[in-house]
């Protein structure tokens, strides 16, 4: 109604103002849209930078993880190699232990066999010695009696020679005294003393014993001889088959008689 009463200049002026306002509104809208777009672009760029940084960070982390993975793989390979080497050494040790066990078993078995063989040889030797004891004891006794018989015969012959000489009455006492301490009686006493002396110590025996070779020694001296590691006879220097000692009762009785006659304690 009011526009109907406006003049053409006023209407034109109003139209220009409205157009100007419309253009201003459009410009404002465009400006706002431009600002919004720039803001969005800025935000987008920021997001892209963040995404790029995160990508780079993830890439570095991946590289570190890959490096760690490679290091772990190398360590795993080394562990596998060392495990195989240790397994090989363990097998070698087991084989060595098994060989040592077999060797010990073999040595033990051989030792048992050797011990049995030595025992059998000792028993056989003892049986042989026991079997031969009467023979060599008899031979030793016969030798001692033979020497005693020879000495007695020499003594008797010496006495007969002295008696057949028929000395004068004045020299009877002198001859009898010489006969008592003459060479024949001295020879007989020396022979008896030689049989009663120990061949080792050259002293009168107190406990005479026979060895396997038939010779008589004092027990103390022959035992000390054997304890020093000697296996040979002190008289013949031959190897003795055994260390068995048998008391010589005949020689012991002769020693006792000799001590009584000579008043030897």
pLDDT tens column, 74-83: 888 888 888 8
What pLDDT, on a 0 to 100 scale, did the predictor assign at position 183? 46
For residue 235 the two structure tokens come to: 């008289």
What pLDDT, on a 0 to 100 scale, did the predictor assign at position 187? 46
Cα-only R_g, the chain: 68
| DSSP letter for each residue of 66-99 | HHHHHHHHHHHHHHHHHHHHHHHHHHHHHHHHHH
> How far apart, in Å, are the Cα atoms of 54 and each of 49, 59, 61?
8, 8, 10
Longest dimension (CA), the chain: 229
What pLDDT, on a 0 to 100 scale, did the predictor assign at position 162? 60
CA proximity to 148, closest of 181, 184, 194: 194
- Positions in the chain whose pLDDT score sits under 70: 1-6, 115, 118-119, 121-123, 125-193, 264-265
What pLDDT, on a 0 to 100 scale, did the predictor assign at position 224? 93
Residue boundaries of the structural domains of the chain: 117-262
Residues 6+ apart with CB under 8 A from 232: 238, 239, 240
Question: Do residues 248 and 219 make contact, with C-beta atoms less than 8 angstroms apart?
Answer: no
> What whole-number distance in Å separates Cα of residue 24 and Cα of residue 17?
10
- Helix or strand or coil: residue 231? coil
Q: Which CATH superfamily is domain 117-262 in?
A: Zinc/RING finger domain, C3HC4 (zinc finger) (3.30.40.10)
Question: Do residues 144 and 195 make contact, with C-beta atoms less than 8 angstroms apart?
Answer: yes
> How far apart, in Å, are the Cα atoms of 167 and each of 89, 163, 173, 178, 184?
108, 8, 9, 12, 17
What pLDDT, on a 0 to 100 scale, did the predictor assign at position 184? 44
Whole-model pTM: value is: 0.33
Can you point out the beta strands (E) in the chain? Answer: 208-210, 216-218, 246-247
CA proximity to 137, closest of 262, 24, 55, 249: 249
């Amino acid at each position: 109604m009011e526009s109907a009463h406006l003049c053409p200049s006023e209407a034109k002026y109003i139209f220009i103002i409205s157009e100007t306002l419309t253009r201003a509104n459009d410009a404002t809208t465009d400006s706002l849209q431009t600002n919004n777009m720039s803001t969005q672009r800025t935000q987008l760029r920021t997001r892209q930078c963040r995404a790029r940084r995160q990508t780079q960070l993830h890439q570095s982390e991946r590289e570190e993880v890959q490096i760690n993975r490679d290091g772990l793989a190398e360590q795993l390979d080394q562990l596998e190699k060392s495990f195989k080497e240790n397994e090989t050494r363990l097998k070698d040790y087991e084989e060595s232990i098994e060989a040592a066990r077999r060797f010990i078993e073999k040595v033990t078995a051989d030792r048992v066999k050797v011990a049995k063989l030595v025992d059998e040889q000792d028993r056989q030797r003892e049986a042989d010695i026991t079997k031969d004891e009467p023979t060599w004891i008899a031979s030793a006794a016969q030798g001692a009696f033979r020497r005693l018989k020879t000495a007695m015969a020499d003594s008797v012959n010496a006495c007969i020679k002295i008696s057949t000489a028929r000395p004068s009455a004045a020299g009877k006492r002198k001859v009898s005294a010489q006969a008592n301490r003459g060479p024949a009686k001295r020879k007989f006493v020396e022979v008896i003393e030689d049989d009663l002396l120990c061949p080792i110590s050259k002293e009168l025996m107190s406990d005479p014993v026979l060895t396997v070779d038939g010779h008589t020694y004092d027990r103390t001296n022959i035992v000390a001889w054997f304890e020093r590691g000697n296996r040979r006879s002190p008289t013949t220097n031959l190897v003795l088959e055994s260390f068995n000692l048998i008391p010589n009762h005949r020689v012991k009785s002769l020693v006792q008689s000799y001590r009584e006659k000579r008043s030897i304690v």
